[in-house]
Amino acid sequence: MSPGGGGLSRDGRGTSALDDVRAAASLREDGPATLEWAASYLERVHELPVLAQVKPGEIRARLPAHPPEAPEPFSAVLRDLDELLLDGMTHWQHPRYFAYFATSSSEPAILAELLAATLNAVAILWRTAPAATELEGVVLDWVVDLLGLPSGWHGHIEDTASTSTLAAIIAAREATGRDLVLCSDQAHSAADKAARMLGMRLRKVPSDAEFRMQVDELGDVSEAAAIVATVGTTASAAVDPVGQVADVAEAGGAWLHVDAAYAGSAMVCPEHRWAFAGVERADSLVVNAHKWMLTPVDCSLLWTRRPEDFRRAFSLVPEFLRTPDAEDALSLSEYGPALGRRFRALKLWAVLRCFGRAGLRAHIRRGVELAARFEAWVSEEEGWELCAPRHFSVVCFRLVGSDERNRQLLERVNAGGQVFISHAMLNGRYVLRLAIGQMNTTEEDVTQAWDVLRGEAAAL
Ligand SMILES: Cc1ncc(COP(=O)(O)O)c(C=O)c1O
């Protein structure tokens, strides 16, 4: 029996439910409609409200409590995606998505995700996915080249920066035998969470007026397993002085982990590399390709110059997974928490090939340029203030006045659905953040955001 056909199943017991499923959804029959859905979604996403306009529980209430008894056609899934789910989506692909860190899932990567799911490689060992494993090494080397990092680092892909930072701290603990993590008060909560999950102590170092770690406040680091420095903090994209942190880490025998989850992609442009001075001295570095490198979540790139420390921390190979030594060392599951690893490298490979260095640079530069324009508009407008130096594509600003006024403004702006922005606390003050990163954002979109902000501010 051919897959997808009716008739007798392989074991000759007649047509089974599984055969119906195979018949109910087929790449050839449903693929074109699905690709058409994806293409037309990307064309019309700018017409949809950016932030989902539903109440908690509303989507769940629309869905049946029980799964279908009989197989349904895939067309029903596509229909319900439109009719039941779509207005419960916050559209990260919207050109006026400016909240948190705006991201883009580009077309080469979307297609590659389809292929990765088709191949369904589960890289538990090198031999279960040789090409996926070796391509992962190659694309991580390519990104090292693109970002101007030292060659020879060992790279692999984790799902998120939270996992990458957790893994780095585990390796640091293994390497140092210590149980203290240091980071600035601007570091991402992933560092706190990792320390908490690991039962390690965490000490937060104050930041200066520009939200950079105050290195002289690191104090005695002789008990520190890891110091986490951030290039591109979550609130204001501030840049810790990594070189100075590296001096302290080296002198004190601590592991230096650099979190460049958002800003790391900007290293592709030589004019931004000043911000990464000292990163070459890191013991580990995380950059999320799923933030500013045109790749859909999840694709967190983690490099280390100390792969043997990672391997000591994570390698646990039970008998049933044993293979000859030469293969063992190549199994990336020995360098991180997960055993089963999906073929994430394929989408990144597609992005790197289909955009090239030039395309990646153009994407970063456009985001930074648009942010600079927005920054200039805010600085020139009476009644508004900038709240942090602008780095990369993030602008922190607020309406002159109380926190409450700014909170209300944010609610009104987002409720309208034309734009989506988020907030942060800086120096104890509530500030608004406009983060540019969506590949389809144009000057018109940023202008519209500014118009909505000023209009809502006037109406407050
Ligand atoms: C600087 C920084 N580090 C880490 C993270 C966590 O990223 P992820 O969602 O991949 O865990 C973020 C998320 O925005 C971030 O801004």
> pLDDT tens digits, residue range 267-280?
999 999 999 999 99
Indicate which atom in ligand 1 lies nearest the CA of residue 187: 1
Decide the pairing of beta strands 394-399 and 300-304.
unpaired
398 Cα to the center of ligand 1, angstroms: 23
Count of C-beta atoms within a 10 Å radius of residue 298: 17
Cβ of 442 below 6 Å from ligand 1: no
- Catalogue all structural domains in the chain, each as residue range(s) with its CATH number: 107-352 (3.40.640.10)
Parallel, antiparallel, or unpaired: how do β-strands 300-304 and 154-158 relate? antiparallel
Mean pLDDT of 318-338: 85
pLDDT beyond 70 at 253: yes
pLDDT of residue 262: 98
List, for residues 99-144, the tens digit of each pLDDT value: 999 999 999 999 999 999 999 999 999 999 999 999 999 999 999 9
Half-sphere exposure of 361 (CA within 13 A, CB side): 12
CB 268 near ligand 1, within 6 Å: no
- State residue 16's pLDDT score: 62
User: What are the tens digits of pLDDT across the range 351-369?
Assistant: 999 999 999 999 999 999 9
Q: Measured in angstroms, how far is the CA atom of residue 259 from the centroid of ligand 1?
A: 8
Chain centroid to Cα 313, Å, comes to: 24
pLDDT tens for each residue of 165-181: 999 999 999 999 999 99
Q: What is the pLDDT of residue 22?
A: 66
Q: What is the mean pLDDT of the chain?
A: 94
Q: Per residue in 58-97, pLDDT tens?
A: 999 999 999 999 999 999 999 999 999 999 999 999 999 9
What is the CB neighbour count within 10 angstroms for residue 37?
14
The partner residues of 287 in beta bridges, in order of sequence, read 301
Q: How far apart are CA 309 and CA 64, in angstroms?
A: 49
With a CB cutoff of 8 Å and minimum separation 6, the contacts of 224 are: 176, 178, 180, 181, 182, 249, 252, 254
Beta bridge partners of 300: 158, 288
257 three-class SS = strand
Looking at residue 18, its pLDDT comes to 63
Residue 314 in contact with ligand 1 by CB distance below 6 A = no
- The Cα angle at residue 172 between residues 169 and 177, in degrees rounded to 5: 120
Instruction: Indicate which atom in ligand 1 lies nearest the CA of residue 159.
Output: 10
In short, whether 234's Cβ falls inside 6 Å of ligand 1 is yes
Instruction: Using most ligand atoms within 8 A of CB, pick from 101, 162, 211 the residue to mutate for ligand 1.
Output: 162
Task: Please tell me the predicted confidence (pLDDT) of residue 197.
Answer: 98
Tell me how far the alpha carbon of residue 96 lies from the centroid of ligand 1, in angstroms: 21
Task: Please tell me the distance from the alpha carbon of residue 273 to that of residue 257, in angstroms, as a whole number.
Answer: 18
Whether the per-residue pLDDT at 324 is higher than 90: the answer is no
Q: Is the predicted pLDDT of residue 317 greater than 90, yes or no?
A: no
What pLDDT is attached to residue 1?
33
The pLDDT score that the predictor gives to residue 323 is: 86
Distance from the CA of 422 to the center of ligand 1, in angstroms?
15
| pLDDT surpassing 90 at residue 329 | no
Query: Is any ligand 1 atom within 6 A of the Cβ of residue 300?
Result: yes
Ligand 1: does its nearest atom lie under 6 Å from the Cβ of 418? Answer: no
Q: Is 184 in the pocket of ligand 1 (CB under 6 A)?
A: no
pLDDT digits (tens, 9 = 90+) for 363-412: 999 999 999 999 999 999 999 999 999 999 999 999 999 999 999 999 99
Residue 314 CB-half CA count within 13 A? 25
Residue 5, pLDDT > 50, answer no
Ramachandran region, residue 428 (left: φ > 0; alpha: ψ -120 to 50; beta: rest):
left
